[in-house]
Amino acid sequence: MVKFFAVALAGLALSALPAAAQDHTIFDDVKLEVVPETHGVAPYPNELVLVHIRGLYRPLINIQHMQQPELTDFGWMHLTKDKLSESTFDGFPAVAYERVIAVYPEKSGPLEIGSFTHKLTVVDGAGGREIDVRSAPVTVQVAQWQGPGGPGDPNSWWLPASDVTVTDTWASDPNHVPRGETIQRTVTIEAYGVTAEQLPPPPVMRSAGIISFRGPTDRETRVTENGPVARAVYRWNMRPISAFPATVEAIKIPWFDTVSRSMREATIPAQRMAWDVAGAPSGDPAAVAGPKRPALGLTLGVGGAAFLLGVALLLVGTGGLRALPGLPPRALRKLKTAAWRGDAASFRAAVTELVRKEPERSEAWAGRAEVRAGLAELDRHLYGGGQDPRPNLRRLARIIVTARRASAVPARSTGSGLAPLDGPLRNA
């Protein structure tokens, strides 16, 4: 009877102990702690904080399960599988447990990470028992950003990362774009310490003389032991809309370096774009130059050209050049025909041919604002996936013809540059 009462009193005393005291064995041989990895500085909102949950247990564990608290003020994600390894506890063999999670504070101020509970079924003597090991809650002090460009600035994208890389590739040479075609530009951004959702949206790829159409965007997050790595792939289909080379301007992407604790910039580089010159000579320059000694036919041709040049100079001096009839180029006739038929593709091809046939003259009229605006509207109709309506081709043809006529070189004065022979003589 006395033994029965002793056991009962021991049970009552054990039940009266605090819950934390009941979680430990009679040897006090279990421990669980939570350690945020802040490197001695207060993180900013949405900045990665690695949290290590470490346990150390001397009893033999049969079953284990970790219960995580509600992280109401944090975004979080698991990084790796839980690790169990051999260790020592006060000089005795023990089992070490570790879990690593990534948390992202969602606001400034002191934010609490609640207690983790490790539910264990351990071997104790001839049987087994269940114990709950709890960690103490910890507080993370999150700093308030000072100045523009921070997590609360609506005019900029907040990207806190340990490193950011930009890769720019083109499907073909942007300096030699085939006439009437588009080429694909691909920009890949990788950022360490953030998820794919934290990367900025595709930038606007817009520059004077160039048209672009945004393609699909791919995003992915790769999980590593040191935190997530985000990757975004942006694509554009681009082409020149000017007869002359144009430049795609560089784009700056600001980001916060979590290692140096300073703002930095990643750059999508500038790139020149131009149409390919059809029929340009290539290969060995000596081979292009031909033999040093001209053949008889070439000599006769040069002589004939010199004769015609002399006649033209005489006509210039007498004003007769303006009297010579000038036939419009075939490309101009093709342009008018395509406008009358409403054929947008043939119209654009005729404009390109006209620019190629008259490079010096077209430099004056192709740069006019009304011509550029009309051609840009035409290109959006042809290469924008059919979303833009076809412009008025007859009106655009009149604009081009008028601009081309205004760009003609004015004729020289009909008066002679020599003094009249019968004029008064001047004293030397």
Whether 421 is covered by a domain: the verdict is: no
Whether 282 is covered by a domain: the verdict is: no
What tens digit of pLDDT does each residue of 277-289 get?
Answer: 753 433 333 333 3
Same domain, 74 and 120: yes
Say whether pLDDT at 201 is over 60: yes
DSSP assignment of 73-120 equals: TEEEEE-S--EEEEEEETTEEEEEEEEEEEEEE-SSEEEEE---EEEE
The residue segments making up the domain with residue 72 are: 17-142
Whether 413 is covered by a domain: the verdict is: no
Whether 425 is covered by a domain: the verdict is: no
Same domain, 233 and 338: no
Same domain, 178 and 131: no
Same domain, 177 and 258: yes
Whether 64 is covered by a domain: the verdict is: yes
Instruction: Mark which of 116, 142, 168 sits at the end of a domain.
Output: 142
What tens digit of pLDDT does each residue of 86-141 get?
Answer: 887 777 888 999 999 999 999 999 999 999 999 998 887 767 788 899 999 999 99
Adjacent-strand bridge partners of 29? none
Say whether pLDDT at 42 is over 70: yes
Same domain, 39 and 67: yes
pTM of the model: 0.61
Instruction: Mark which of 88, 111, 142 sits at the end of a domain.
Output: 142
CA neighbours within 13 Å on the CB side: how many for 193? 19
Whether 199 is covered by a domain: the verdict is: yes
Instruction: Mark which of 273, 292, 312 sits at the end of a domain.
Output: 273
What whole-number percentage of the chain has pLDDT above 90?
A: 43
Same domain, 88 and 203: no
Q: Which residue has the tokens 């025909």?
A: 337
For residues 152 and 145, the answer to whether their CB atoms sit within 8 Å is yes
Domain count, the chain: 3
Same domain, 345 and 259: no
Same domain, 104 and 78: yes
Same domain, 164 and 101: no
Same domain, 217 and 182: yes
Measure Cα distances from 126 to 61, 78, 384 in Å. Answer: 14, 37, 78
Whether 380 is covered by a domain: the verdict is: yes
The average pLDDT across 355-369 equals: 80
Burial class from Cβ neighbours inside 10 Å (0-12, 13-18, 19+) for residue 64 reads middle
Same domain, 51 and 98: yes
The lowest-confidence range among 2-11, 233-242, 309-318 is 2-11
Same domain, 80 and 29: yes
Whether 136 is covered by a domain: the verdict is: yes
33: domain CATH number is 2.60.40
Angle between helices 344-357 and 369-383 (to 10 degrees): 130
* DSSP summary character for residue 306: H
